[in-house]
Structure 1
Amino acid sequence: MPYSADYTVDQEQLILSLVKHQRKQLQEDREALRKADHLTDRKAESIQAELDDLSKLENKNREKRLK
């Protein structure tokens, strides 16, 4: 069940900042695992799925701010 809430501008900015930070951290983790030759196909898929979800959240946040 989707949850809809009205956030203040400050809350929306905080959410966007947290999403960006998490996405950057996942990208860095993925690169570190790749360099250490510890990135399995399954882990790569898992990280990519999470990055996709974060990207969707970021887009929704931006759309909401434009309304």
Structure 2
Amino acid sequence: MPKSRGGRLTVPVHPICHRALHVHLTNIELAKIGDDPPKLRVQAGLATFLRWVANKPPDFHAPTRRKR
């Protein structure tokens, strides 16, 4: 949950993954899902991203396209 919504827990997330989360989900949607990785993995656009990024090295960085 974002700090703007009263969240206190900080979870380290790779920058490319963090950008992808916000491209595919709003802060409200992320707050509803909470800290539940299996629920994140089944989100349509995010699941596609996770399959794509799974074989990339840990220091991989690429631009993230936003929804139009």
TM beyond 0.5: no
Larger of the two Rg values belongs to structure: 1
Higher percent of residues as helix: 1
Q: Which has the higher contact order (CA 8 A, sep 6+)?
A: 1
Task: Name the TM-score, length of structure 2 as normaliser.
Answer: 0.31
Task: Name the TM-score, length of structure 1 as normaliser.
Answer: 0.31
